[in-house]
Amino acid sequence: MAVDERNMNNIWSTLVQNNRVLESLSKKLAHFSAATDPCSDGSTPAAVAMILHQDRHDIEILFIQRASHDMDPWSGHIAFPGGKMEEGEMPCQAACRETLEETGIDLIEGTYLGRLSDIIGANLPVRVSCCLFAVDKRHLQPALNEEVRDLFWVSLSDLRDPGRRALSSVAFDDRVLSVPAIQLPVDNIPVLWGITYRLVMQLLAILEDNRAGFEECCRLPETVELLDVRETNMSIKESFFLDRDKAVLVVIDVQEKLCVAMDEVVLKSRVKNIGILMDSAAELNIPVILTEQYVKGLGTTLPELKEKAALAPCYEKMAFSCCGSQEFVAELKATGRSQVIITGMETHVCVLQTVIELRDAGLNVHVVKDAVMSRSKQNWETAIESMTLAGAIPTSTESTLFQLLKVAGTDEFKKLSKLVR
């Protein structure tokens, strides 16, 4: 059953105003949760503490950012205090011990509310038990050990905000994954994802009496690993030269209502160049992927471009980066291509963020300068400079075409070279 968001907001406000959220939560935990023997499936047992504070405005949850350690796969990530359970320990005991060691917070002085259903790691063989405690943060005096970089509180209102949720690319254990995540309202920290994200979503589902959402949080999530083709010995030629058998063309958000905001002369030339590259891709059997940002508000891809790639996949997204679309990431990975030719708009927003994430995944990215656009030249120039510093290759439509053709005199050359004359 779908959750009525407006009704839930009303219920939530009433509970907060009456200081009854934690009381209600404790009862619901007993109804929803299905704690299991943490050693029953062979996974490494661990326990964490979700620490809550209630004031007259909202509920807050304590998060930590782990310190950076080369041997720690969760190095620098956002988490709850906790760690491996010792032999003979119960989850609540382990959560209290680890929290005291890592943060100096003694949960014996708090109120135990209950336990969420255990979470099995999607990327490592670990089973995590999460114990919930209510505290008065005004009386806490944290003392962080070397395992913790920082701690901070985040309100449930922020965690419940749909605008903070999106697919995000994260680095984990020498891989780059596309995962559901929450952007927390704290400067200069990573997104909240993985086991901690799933525990938070489980809590929100319980508070909303959302049984289907709760069960979804307890299942192993689907993660898509971004294609990672880092080549440490790549020559200058291999870095700069495009190969039709390795390339894929990406056309980002060339949509009707976005185009209206562009300089008319610039728009005409950019659309022409994107069309040339799409025609060339069709002739040379190069895959094409299109994206569209918030179609309801910005419209669809320009018809003259959509017609050139009628069979090409086109994915709607809400995240600015194309890598925020799990469908886009899966499609890109399915091509098996390691060179990404980038066109579209806007250069300083969706194009830039996409390029940064693709470069972070180790892909060889070529940004076609005369086939990307922004409303202002300054934003376009700044974005081109940023992408170049990130390791993307700045290029042009004509240069791209002739790199893909490689030689003159062929039927392909005779046909496609006419497009740039």
Cα–Cα dist 359/246, whole Å:
16
DSSP-derived 3-state class of residue 379: helix
Strand-pair category, 44-54 with 59-66: antiparallel
State how far the alpha carbon of 311 is from the alpha carbons of 84, 273, 336, in Å. 50, 20, 18
Active site residue 72: no
> Running DSSP on this structure, what letter comes out for residue 146?
T
Please measure the distance between the N-terminal and C-terminal CA atoms of the chain and give it in whole angstroms: 59
Cα–Cα dist 159/162, whole Å:
8
Phi/psi of residue 285, nearest 5 degrees: 60, 40
Cα–Cα dist 136/393, whole Å:
53
Active site residue 130: no
Cα–Cα dist 410/413, whole Å:
5
Residue of 131, 217, 218, 317 marked active site = 317
Residue of 218, 350, 369, 370 marked active site = 350
Phi/psi of residue 390, nearest 5 degrees: -80, -5
CA angle 132, 128, 211 (to 5 degrees): 65
Active site residue 84: no
Residue of 92, 118, 253, 323 marked active site = 253
List active site positions.
253, 317, 350
